């Protein structure tokens, strides 16, 4: 079967057939709009992301099912970072007429598997031709109990800075691949199949525990930089405190300079959040509930103190915080 | 100033500076998600559309401010077609590093002007590089009083079929342009600056007047075809009843075959809806409220009767209803 035989509406029907029923979905794919019910007493939280071939991924290096899963993960991760729970997604795709149908099917398979995993429902989207690159745009809607959302702007001096999971695994996998080496299965999976921390984000929001939160897409320092900018504070990060996986520690023993990947490597999709000292006692229960380690990596400091890193040898330095910027240089 | 000097975040700040405050916006551009309040007792209605250079538009033929306005109009039109009121938008853009900043500024200017016109607020999006084509993805969220949404699936035999405004103007403008002629300012404006019928859609939904509704993006016959498919009915459309502008009538007098543009031409963004006979008496008040003519163009017929057109000479025929399909042929 080829795309030209299936046609636009045949392709949409194929996607529709794989969508499971979802709570709150009054009307899903197939009309001018989706119609949805939010849980009573909740606010709507929405985010959107675009992924473009040759910029965000290269087809020859990318498994299409992984890309489908990742398209869901990066979006629900943003809802988690607000302390919300994701519910509904919209998927818009642009691809050339000659695009292999198997590649599309594989992408959709991964996308819908991730929807089941995160308990979110695909309720709409758009399908159109592209003159070249494969273009993916995903929007996710979630909800948060009214007033319980967590912004980037609430960190206060003295707050502890926490990260979930382990840091730098995705960047280390990419580093090894770029050097022609083979990352171990754990590292590879962290890179190609990142897990958004949706249960953790919802639990933190529900308990109103963090003063500020963001998800780690651009790297610890760059994303902490966003919190500092929005909160008008400084921070001290301690290399000794960085939560590292056994695979990462093994690599670090051979090449100590790889610590920069835990500080500045992107795409971990862990949550980074700040907590007032009196709320730190509530974290162990949340960590158990989400089955994830939560580790303090530093502390928020006074406005004007900037972002400072204390290296393993006790010396301190001011890192460049610039994350990825699509149009610089 | 060039894009490379401004950078991704500078460009986003530039957009943000032009966004007016909106009702229901608890948190807009600048965090992981937007946070929004829906009016109490309302359901969420959401739609998304993708526009890609070389497929949906060509830069050399397109004024960027017109494209910005149109990107808003085609999306809020879908909310109107559900009987809802649009509130918030998300704009994702992909463009090459070398894209002229003036073109982007012009696009954003048109986009934000349309936001003001339709009283909707830009609350989020994504900005990234593209290897070539200018890519636009817009998502709109609106609300509808709970249970008052209008689908494509409620038309019943005996219902009248109505269209707002006049039909075929946009297609006639395109037809003239393609023939190297200059459409008059009215026709040109209908093509480059289509107006979504948001006040009409909300009023029809509020009053629960239509049994089914869709917006006219693919042409009367194709879009009526969607209603017939979802409602499992047939319909009779009468050419004599088609609401035509003076400009369109003038062209028709010279070339009677142009009637096909009123039947099958796309991008009018008028609303097409069906009404039970006992509710037709409620239409004049709505037409006055929305300052738009509402014209009966036909009637819904029994299932299996298919779509039939009665020509001006009284003869009937079964048209091909196929609208635009991105991957056929």
What are the tens digits of pLDDT across the range B59-91? 888 899 999 999 999 999 999 999 999 999 999
**Residues A89, A1: Cα–Cα separation, whole Å:** 27
**Residues B107, B70: Cα–Cα separation, whole Å:** 10
Residue B107: predicted pLDDT: 96
For residue B271, give the 3-state DSSP assignment: strand
DSSP H stretches of helix in A255-329: 259-264, 283-290
> Choosing among A25, A27, A35, A229, which should be mutated to test the B contact, i.e. which has the most B CBs within 10 A?
A35
Residue A3: predicted pLDDT: 79
Q: Locate the chain A residue with the closest alpha carbon to B78.
A: A32
Residue B321: predicted pLDDT: 63
Residue A329: predicted pLDDT: 44
Residue with the larger pLDDT of the pair A4 and B204: B204
Extended strands (E) in A226-288: 234-238, 271-275
**Residues A321, A81: Cα–Cα separation, whole Å:** 20
The angle formed by the CA atoms of residues A216, A222 and A228, to the nearest 5 degrees, is 100
**Residues B52, A95: Cα–Cα separation, whole Å:** 10
pLDDT digits (tens, 9 = 90+) for B146-199: 999 999 999 999 999 999 999 999 999 999 999 999 999 999 999 999 999 999
Residues 241-270 of chain B whose Cβ lies under 8 A from any Cβ of chain A? none
For residue A273, give the 3-state DSSP assignment: strand
Q: Are A20 and A119 in contact (CB under 8 A)?
A: no
Question: pLDDT exceeding 90 applies to what percent of chain B?
Answer: 87
Q: Do A133 and B133 touch (CB under 8 A)?
A: yes
> Choosing among A43, A232, A327, A329, which should be mutated to test the B contact, i.e. which has the most B CBs within 10 A?
A327
pTM of whole model > 0.90? yes
Partner residues linked to B68 by β-bridges = none
A92 in B contact zone (CB under 8 Å) = yes
Nearest by CB to A326, from B8, B78, B132: name it.
B8
Distance between B277 CA and the closest CA of chain A, angstroms: 24
The residues, ordered by sequence, that sit 6+ positions from A164 with a Cβ below 8 Å of its Cβ are: A197, A200, A270, A271, A272, A290, A292, A293, A294, A295
Residue B13 token pair = 């700040």
Q: Please report which helix (H) or strand (E) contains residue A160, including its range.
A: strand A160-164
> Choosing among A31, A146, A324, which should be mutated to test the B contact, i.e. which has the most B CBs within 10 A?
A31
For residue B11, give the 3-state DSSP assignment: helix
In the sheet that holds A271-275, the strands lie side by side as A212-215, A271-275, A160-164, A294-301, A234-238, A307-310, A316-317
B133 in A contact zone (CB under 8 Å) = yes
- Which regions of chain A are under pLDDT 50? 329
For residue A240, how far is the Cα from the chain centroid?
24
Residue B21: predicted pLDDT: 82
A197 in B contact zone (CB under 8 Å) = no
Q: List, in order of start, the domains of chain B with CATH numbers.
A: 3-145 (3.30.1330.10), 160-317 (3.90.650.10)
Q: Do B325 and A7 touch (CB under 8 A)?
A: yes
In the sheet that holds A121-129, the strands lie side by side as A121-129, A85-95, A135-145, A42-52, B34-36, B25-27
The residues, ordered by sequence, that sit 6+ positions from A3 with a Cβ below 8 Å of its Cβ are: A11, A97, A98, A99, A101, A104, B327
For residue B76, how far is the Cα from the chain centroid?
7
A223 in B contact zone (CB under 8 Å) = no
Extended strands (E) in chain B: 25-27, 34-36, 42-52, 85-95, 121-129, 135-145, 160-164, 212-215, 234-238, 271-275, 294-301, 307-310, 316-317
Residue A302: predicted pLDDT: 96
**Residues B171, A79: Cα–Cα separation, whole Å:** 42
Give burial (CB, 10 Å; 0-12/13-18/19+) of B310: middle
Residue with the larger pLDDT of the pair A4 and B297: B297
A30 in B contact zone (CB under 8 Å) = yes
Residue B325: predicted pLDDT: 60
Residue B297: predicted pLDDT: 98
**Residues A109, A89: Cα–Cα separation, whole Å:** 15
Residue B325 token pair = 């399909």
Q: Return the number of other C-beta atoms located less than 10 Å from residue A322's C-beta.
A: 15
Cα separation values, A48 from A146, A157, B127, B139, B299, Å? 21, 31, 10, 9, 41
Which residues in A lie closer than 8 A to residue B44 (C-beta atoms)?
35-38, 44, 141
Q: Do B152 and A32 touch (CB under 8 A)?
A: yes
Residue B4: predicted pLDDT: 78
The residues, ordered by sequence, that sit 6+ positions from A29 with a Cβ below 8 Å of its Cβ are: A12, A15, A16, A19, A122, A123, A124, A125
pLDDT digits (tens, 9 = 90+) for B33-59: 999 999 999 999 999 999 999 999 888
The residues, ordered by sequence, that sit 6+ positions from A18 with a Cβ below 8 Å of its Cβ are: A108, A109, A112
Distance between B88 CA and the closest CA of chain A, angstroms: 10
Nearest by CB to B47, from A26, A32, A131: name it.
A32
Residue B163: predicted pLDDT: 98
Q: Do B327 and A4 touch (CB under 8 A)?
A: yes
Please, which pLDDT band fits residue B329 given cuts at 50, 70 and 90? very low
Which residues in B lie closer than 8 A to residue A8 (C-beta atoms)?
325-328
DSSP character at residue B41: T
Q: What is the ipTM of this complex?
A: 0.93
Residue B326 scores a pLDDT above 70: no
Residue B272 scores a pLDDT above 60: yes
Q: Are B163 and B271 in contact (CB under 8 A)?
A: yes
Query: Dihedrals φ, ψ of A170, to 5°?
Result: -65, -45
Q: Please report which helix (H) or strand (E) contains residue A212, including its range.
A: strand A212-215
**Residues A310, A280: Cα–Cα separation, whole Å:** 22
């Amino acid at each position: 079967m080829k795309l030209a035989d299936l046609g636009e509406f045949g392709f949409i029907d194929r996607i529709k057939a794989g969508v499971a029923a979802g709570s709150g979905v009054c009307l899903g794919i197939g009309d001018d709009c989706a119609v949805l019910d939010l849980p009573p007493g909740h606010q709507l939280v929405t985010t959107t992301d675009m992924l473009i071939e040759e910029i965000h991924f290269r087809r020859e290096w990318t498994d299409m099912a992984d890309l489908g899963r990742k398209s869901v993960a990066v979006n629900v991760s943003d809802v988690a970072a607000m302390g919300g729970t994701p519910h509904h997604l919209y998927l818009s795709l642009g691809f050339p007429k000659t695009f292999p149908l198997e590649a599309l099917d594989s992408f959709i398979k991964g996308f819908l598997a991730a929807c089941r995993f995160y308990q979110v429902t695909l309720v709409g989207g758009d399908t159109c031709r592209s003159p070249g690159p494969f273009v993916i745009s995903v929007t996710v809607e979630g909800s948060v109990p009214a007033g319980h959302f967590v912004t980037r702007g609430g960190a206060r001096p003295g707050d502890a800075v926490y990260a979930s999971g382990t840091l730098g695994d995705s960047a280390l996998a990419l580093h090894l691949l770029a050097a022609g080496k083979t990352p171990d299965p754990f590292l590879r999976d962290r890179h190609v199949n990142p897990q958004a921390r949706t249960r953790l984000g919802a639990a933190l929001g529900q308990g109103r525990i963090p003063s500020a939160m963001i998800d780690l897409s651009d790297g610890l320092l760059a994303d902490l930089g966003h919190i500092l900018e929005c909160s008008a504070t400084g921070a001290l990060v301690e290399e000794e405190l960085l939560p590292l996986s056994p695979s990462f520690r093994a690599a670090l023993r051979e090449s100590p300079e790889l610590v920069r990947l835990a500080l500045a490597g992107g795409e971990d999709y862990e949550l980074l959040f700040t907590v007032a000292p009196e709320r730190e006692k509530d974290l162990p229960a949340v960590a158990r509930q989400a089955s994830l380690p939560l580790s303090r990596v530093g502390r928020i400091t006074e406005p004007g103190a900037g972002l400072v890193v204390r290296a393993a040898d006790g010396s301190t330095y001011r890192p460049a915080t610039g994350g990825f910027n699509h149009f610089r240089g």
